[in-house]
Structure formats: C-alpha cells, structure tokens
Structure 1
C-alpha cells in the first residue's frame, strides 16, 4: 500500500479531509447493472371458469376473513404463537434485519477511543543510570474506506434484499402453517365423522345379525342368510381399527403444528357442523395472473434473491479498481496523568491509503464471472417460480371446481341410497325380497356415506389450497414480528384469541 503522511495545521487538515471525502462520494457511482425486473409474458387470465377480478381478490383478504370457523381461528392463532418451526423462521428474519445494520455500517466512518498507561524502567545493563518512566495516552481515532465504486452500497442493497427475502420466507411459513392447521383440522373432523358412521353401521348390522339368528331359530330363514348377516357385520366392524388409528394420527399431527404435547381438541358433531352458519365466505373471486408477483411470498422471495445476486455483480466488478482509505487520530500524550488534557501534549495524525490489484492469477475475473452466472441462475429460478406459481393457481381453481361438482353428485347418491335401503327393508320385512337385496342396499348406503364425508373434506381442502395458492394470509412486517407476543398474551383466554389474535 502506498501511504502519504500529511503534516498541516489541524483546521486546514480538517477542511481538506471533508472536502476530499465529499467530492469523492458525490462523484462516485455504483458499479454493476441496476436491477430491472425480467419481462414476463404472463397470461391475462387463469384457465378456469371461476370469477377472476383484480379488485375482489380473495388472496388479499386476511386469514380471519377467509377461515370463519371460530374453533379453527383459535387453533390458527395458537399455532402462530407456539409453532416451533415458525419461531425458528421468525428468528432468522430478526437476524437478517440485524445483518442489514451490520452491512450498512461500512458506509460510515468508524470512530474509536484509545486510552493507555505505561510505566517502565530502563535496563541496568544497557543504561548506566536506569530510571522509571511513565507514559499516558488518550486519543480519538477514525477510519473510513471511501465507497468510490459503490461496493458497500451494492453490499447494502444485496443484504437488504436478503432481509426482504427472509420476510417473504416467514410469510410463506405463516401461509403454510395456517393452511396446514386448517387442512389437518378438517381431515381430523372427516375421520371422526367416518368413524362415527362406521360405529352406527356396526351397531345396526349387529342388530340385524341378532335378528337373523332369531329368525333362523324360528325356521324362517336358512343358515346361509345368518352367515351373510355375520359377514356384513364383520365387514363394517373391520373398518374401525384403521379409522381409530387415523383419527389419533391426525390429532397428533395437529398437536405438532400447535406446538404442544397435549392440546384439548373438541370434535364437532355433524349436526353442529350443519348448524354453523358458514366455514368460508359465500362468494369470492381470484385475482389475475399479474397479481401473483406481489401476492405470493415464494415469487417475491425469488425476486429478492435475484436483486441480491444482481447487486453482487456490482460488488465483484469493484474488485478490479483500487480502494481508498483514510485513517486519523487526535489526542494527547504525557508522562504525568494530571496533565493529560494539557494543550502542549496534543498529538494527531492523518493517513491516506490506496490499495490496487496488480496480479491475482485471474481470481478477480473468475469471481466476476461467477457473480454473472449466479445472476443468470437467479433469473432462471425466478422465471421457473413464476411459471410453477401460475399453474399451481390453475390447478387449485380446477380442483375447487371439480370438488363442487363431485359433492353435488355424491349428495344425490346418498339420497338415492337411503331411499333404496328404505324400500329394500320394507320388501325384506314383507317377504317380497331376500336378505341379499337388503344387504346390497345397506352396503351401497354405507359406502356412499363414507365417500360423501371424504368428498366434503376434499371440497374444504380445495378451498384451503386455492387460498394458499393465491398467497392468501400474508402478514405485514410488523405483524410478522409481533404475532408471537400478541398471541402469547391472549393465549390464556381462547375467546380473546378469536377477537384479538393477529391476522
């Protein structure tokens, strides 16, 4: 490094330092390309029959305006406060915000204070008259790397993009957690309902088996019909163990999301679910494809990653140019502590340095090429993320449409199966038809009822998937950081969580 020590009056020296620093900063420019969002030829509409309105986009609504079930709202609020994985992602966001401060600090001078005291004695061998000596120093220091080529500004730009990406990652985790809690909740309810349907069917078929045994004793039917009744009874009974395991498994999955070993879960009966006014909004529309860029956290995170690597191209380019540093100190030096502030003991220094690359075996050029290729990779990743997001929304919309058609057809099948069973029962009791007809009707009804429960579940899950795919449930930056504290304070009162939990 080439160094030049300047010896001028303090006042004149200050004027020169300030003038040079300001001139260099005002005339400097940031190396590398300024970020521009890649041009994307998005379709104007999704390929679906659902209403698409940019002004009434369900993805812009808060999660409490979409998930209307009060019990589910309590569970979601609790999960936002207690989920362990979400807390880890939130911690990374806080750390990313602090990294921005660390990086931005390089744009400013570093000020310090040095104070020292030394007491020494000369060697009796090298000195004929060894004596004690004292030295006290007190000085302020300053060092500053001038950002002539904009390297620090590009680093700051990249780090801020990483912070926004961490914020989007947290929002993505929040959306995923909300949808996972809702999905596991309705899956659990579905299994509980199918378990109850199976229990009711087992009880009914047990009665029919007992009745068949009695009729055989009276010589009304043969042993074959008793065996048929026994088979139907056991066929229904064999479904219970698997359903019992599944309901426990879903409950455990839900408790993991809630972050607790033993959270009290209360199942709703089918009558209670029917009595509830609504689980989701009666009507809604989705936005247009271009709104995905500002709604979906994964798309926004991919763009922030692109911004960061674009800034790193500028940082890599500045390595070809020299760097400029300024260091200075001002203080006092004395051999008596009582005169530490005496003007006669004032000392100061100002150093200017230039460091320029001469030979590095192609390392700087290679780093610049790496940065350019990483920028290209980030552009491809961004385009791929947008493409996947578009078709995820398309698939979610089509799945929702299919579930609506399926539930209507299945409900009609259940109604028809109930009527078929009613007529078959009357014919069997009047001796018009055999028990085989009755058992066939009962099997059809049992299967239709189980399938209807699953179809209802699929419709709920399609609603959840659609809301998630359009980026629904995004929180603001402050909500992301405060949701844990807010929810924890209201955790003691489930009712208050519904009213005041973060949206």
Structure 2
C-alpha cells in the first residue's frame, strides 16, 4: 500500500463504519404506557346544561383550544399583563429553568459529538541528549526529531449502538428539561396572576374595613351626643365603641396582609412593581377572559400538559439507556490512526520521502467484569420502570387537578351570584336599621346585628369573587394553557 493512498482509504473505511454504526441501537422499542385515568371527566352541574350533543358540539367549537390561547389573550387586564411580562423577564426561578434548558442542550451536543471521529492536527519536536559514555564516542550528542501529523484518536465504531443510545438519552433529557421550562413559565403566569388577584382582594377588604371604621366612628359620635342628651344608654355607647375597636383591628390586620401580598408579588416578579400597576379591587374589572374554557377530552388535555410531556421524555431517556447497557455486553472496536511527516531535519520535514503513518485498531471483548454489565443493565431497566411509574403518576395528578378545577368552576358562578344578592340585602337591612335607630324607634342592638351581617356578607362577596377569578386562572393552567404557543417560543431543538 502506498503512502499517499493509505489516508484516503483509512478515512473511507472510518466513514463507512460510522454510517453502519448509526443504523440501529439495542434499545427496546418505545411504547407509551396505557392510560391510567378515566376516559371522561366527572359529571358536574354545569355540564348538565348541555342537554344535546349538538348543543355541546356547538359550544365546544365556539371556544378556542386552551393550549393555543396565549396568556396575553387570556389575561384581560392590561396592568396585570404588564406585571406578568415583567415577571417573565426577571423571575429568578424561571431564569434558572431557562439556563437548565441551555445546559442540557450543550450536554446533548457533547454526547452527539462522540458519534463522529475527532480529527486533530499537531506539529511537534522531540530532543534528546545522550552522554558520551553511552554512545561509545566519548562525546555527548543531541538528536532531534520533527513531526507534523493529522489523525484520529480512540474513535469507537458504534457497531451496537452504545454511543447512539447515549446520544438519544441525552436528547430526551434535553427535551424533558425544555418541557420543564415551559411548565415553569405557565406556572409563573398562574402564580403572578393569583398573587395579583389576592393583593386586589385584600386591598378591597382593607378599603371596606376603612369605610366601615369611618361609618362606625360617625355612629359613635352620634351615640355620644345622644348619650349626653340622655337619649341613649351607657350600654349602647359601649356597644358602639366595641364596633369601632373591632373595625380598627380589621384595618390594622388587612394593612399587614396587603403589605405581605405586595412582598410576595415582588418576589415573583423579581423586581419592584410600580404603584400605577398595582390593583385596587378584585371587583373593579374582569382580570381574565370571562368565557368558559373548553375542557376537551382527558387524553387530549393531559398529553399536551408540559409536565406530562416532561415525564414522558424522561421515560424515553430511560428507555434509550437500556440500549447503551445492552451494548456493553458486545465487543467494541476503537481506532487510532495518524498520517503526516517526520524528519530529523526541520528543513526536510515536508518532503515527500519523509511521509509517515500509523494505524492502531483495538478490539475489546468483555469476558469477565464481576457482574458489572449485568448490574448496569438491571439498573437501567429499573430506571425505566421508575420512569413509567412517574409518568403514570403525572397523568393521575393532572387528571385530579383538572377534575378539581372543573368541579369548583361548576358552582362558583352560582355562589358568587348568591353572595352578591346576600350582600345587597344585608346592606339594605343595615341602612333601614340605622335609620330606625337614629330616629329612636329601635335600640342599637338591631343596628349592630344588621351592621355585622352586612360587613360579613361584603367580605364574603370579596372572597367569592377572588375564588372565581383564581379558578379561571387555575382552569387555564391545568388545561395546559398556552402550551402550543410556549412550544413555538421555546429554544430550537438541535439537529441530529
């Protein structure tokens, strides 16, 4: 074989072996586990209103798919949209999640690089001094050797798919982390929305407490005048004073709660929130899309949730690792080869007669490893079984979350409507009782009871409105809200 033709033949042989090795792996064929949840959501009172299949189909067709409805469309309040956008830029947990995606992408590219040989070039010199009593001349000598080579080092021919299985596992881990980042983003939108709504509700409670305190102080001044005139008793005066003290305590309590809500929102956003972006009341405007979101079928909803997709990608990664463990039982071939020039004279280094090459193939046949390979295979199979259980658990958890949110949604509208009617009626009763007290028709006990009932009903109405708004956000989240749009905005999957 001539010196000039050997490198070309070597590279051709390596390329052919690489293509052959890339054809298959020993990983078992992946099969998605059978669903472990019912095929339909539990019936709710709201679902009973659709009496015919045609009505149900028409209603579903009119509602956009939740995974295609971006959070910018779902959130109706402009200030809340701006706060969420600020959180998506500054939240530290989301930043860590995004960096983890980039890290796994880089690790995948590292693993994928093992499929191809690494070609390196080098130029070197070696010098050696030999004492005279060793070379027989009595005088020391210095010998030099120069070289310039191009070659590959310890490249494994992946005949049984070990390296390719590891590459597939790294890819699935990258995709799982990408799904985790999408899940974190949807969760952050939900958390910021709930924190914003909670702040709005507590601010409204604080405002109601302040208004109540002002009203009770006016009543106290009126009662004091009536007591001075001998119209009201000392008992009535003390009763009115107790309502004022109670309102003062509520104002102090809600002031503390509002401050804590603002701190929680600031942490989620990752930066201070401007005062003009803060909410005033939960009932001031519709913070979210008010139309119902279609629940769809369990299989469609659950499979598009990012956390479920993350669990499935982890399962596929564990499945690929079995292929790598199986390949360890078979022989492996590695190649080390180089070609270039070598000479003792630097001036003659690149002359044609100074060409050199080396070719060192190695065959490694596993004979005895103390059960290491069999244990590694068992570990990989158990990892796969664990991943199956985790995937099934993710499906079950998702089904429960959606079922709970839908069950709550079915009654919250009626609860809020009933609470609005109760708040209105108790407020009217309080006004009538107060007017009768001021005219001296009734004692203050009737007014006190009516005032307490009205105050309690209005506080409960705020809670009902908050629960309704939070439920809309929860339904959007558990149905995989915006999953398709987040996928489109996710980092581009590396090729290969």
Shared fold (TM-score, shorter chain, > 0.5): yes
1:169 aligns with 2:180: yes
Q: Displacement, 1:380?
A: 1.2
Q: 2:149 aligns with which of 139, 143, 150?
A: 139
Match of 1:427 in 2: 436
Q: Displacement, 1:60?
A: 2.7
SS of 1:285's equivalent in the other structure is: coil
Query: Structure 1 407/319 Cα, relative in aligned 2: closer, same or farther at 3 Å?
Result: same
Q: How far apart, CA to CA, are the structure 2 residues paired with 1:74 and 1:192? A: 19
1:94 aligns with 2:102: yes
SS of 1:426's equivalent in the other structure is: helix
Match of 1:492 in 2: none
CA displacement 1:257-315 (0-9 Å, x = unmatched): 11125654644445x954x4663243432221111343211100100010000001111
Q: How far apart, CA to CA, are the structure 2 residues paired with 1:25 and 1:358? A: 27
1:291 aligns with 2:310: no
Q: Contact conserved, 1:97 with 1:163, CA < 8 A, in 2?
A: yes
Length-normalised TM-score, structure 2: 0.90
Q: Contact conserved, 1:320 with 1:357, CA < 8 A, in 2?
A: yes
Match of 1:387 in 2: 396
Query: Structure 1 481/315 Cα, relative in aligned 2: closer, same or farther at 3 Å?
Result: closer
Query: Which runs of structure 1 show a deviation greater than 6 angstroms over 4 or more consecutive aligned residues?
Result: none
Length-normalised TM-score, structure 1: 0.89
Q: Contact conserved, 1:25 with 1:148, CA < 8 A, in 2?
A: no
Give 5+ residue unaligned stretches, structure 1.
1-6, 483-503
Q: Displacement, 1:121?
A: 2.7
Match of 1:194 in 2: 205
Q: How far apart, CA to CA, are the structure 2 residues paired with 1:95 and 1:267? A: 36
Q: Contact conserved, 2:287 with 2:469, CA < 8 A, in 1?
A: no
SS of 2:121's equivalent in the other structure is: strand
1:231 aligns with 2:239: no
Q: Contact conserved, 2:83 with 2:277, CA < 8 A, in 1?
A: no
Q: How far apart, CA to CA, are the structure 1 residues paired with 2:433 and 2:26? A: 84
Q: How far apart, CA to CA, are the structure 1 residues paired with 2:350 and 2:290? A: 75
Q: How far apart, CA to CA, are the structure 2 residues paired with 1:306 and 1:461? A: 33
Match of 1:45 in 2: 40
1:30 aligns with 2:25: yes
SS of 1:353's equivalent in the other structure is: strand
Q: How far apart, CA to CA, are the structure 2 residues paired with 1:278 and 1:302? A: 32
Q: How far apart, CA to CA, are the structure 2 residues paired with 1:178 and 1:196? A: 27
Q: Contact conserved, 2:165 with 2:321, CA < 8 A, in 1?
A: yes
- Range moving further from structure 2, 113-122 or 366-375: 113-122
Match of 2:464 in 1: 455
SS of 2:134's equivalent in the other structure is: coil
Q: Contact conserved, 2:302 with 2:399, CA < 8 A, in 1?
A: no
Q: Displacement, 1:480?
A: 3.8
SS of 1:341's equivalent in the other structure is: coil
Match of 1:3 in 2: none
Match of 2:421 in 1: 412
Match of 2:314 in 1: 305
Q: How far apart, CA to CA, are the structure 1 residues paired with 2:308 and 2:461? A: 36
Aligned Cα root-mean-square deviation (Å): 2.2
Match of 2:87 in 1: 79
Match of 2:192 in 1: 181
SS of 2:350's equivalent in the other structure is: coil
Match of 1:493 in 2: none
Match of 2:50 in 1: none
Q: How far apart, CA to CA, are the structure 1 residues paired with 2:224 and 2:10? A: 111
Q: Displacement, 1:96?
A: 0.6
Query: Structure 1 214/237 Cα, relative in aligned 2: closer, same or farther at 3 Å?
Result: same
Give 5+ residue unaligned stretches, structure 2.
48-55
Q: Contact conserved, 1:190 with 1:457, CA < 8 A, in 2?
A: yes
Match of 2:140 in 1: 130
Q: Displacement, 1:325?
A: 1.1
Q: How many residues align?
A: 474
Query: Structure 1 317/73 Cα, relative in aligned 2: closer, same or farther at 3 Å?
Result: same
Q: 1:439 aligns with which of 433, 448, 451?
A: 448
CA displacement 1:176-225 (0-9 Å, x = unmatched): 11101000000001000000000000010011111111101111111111
Q: 1:109 aligns with which of 107, 114, 117?
A: 117
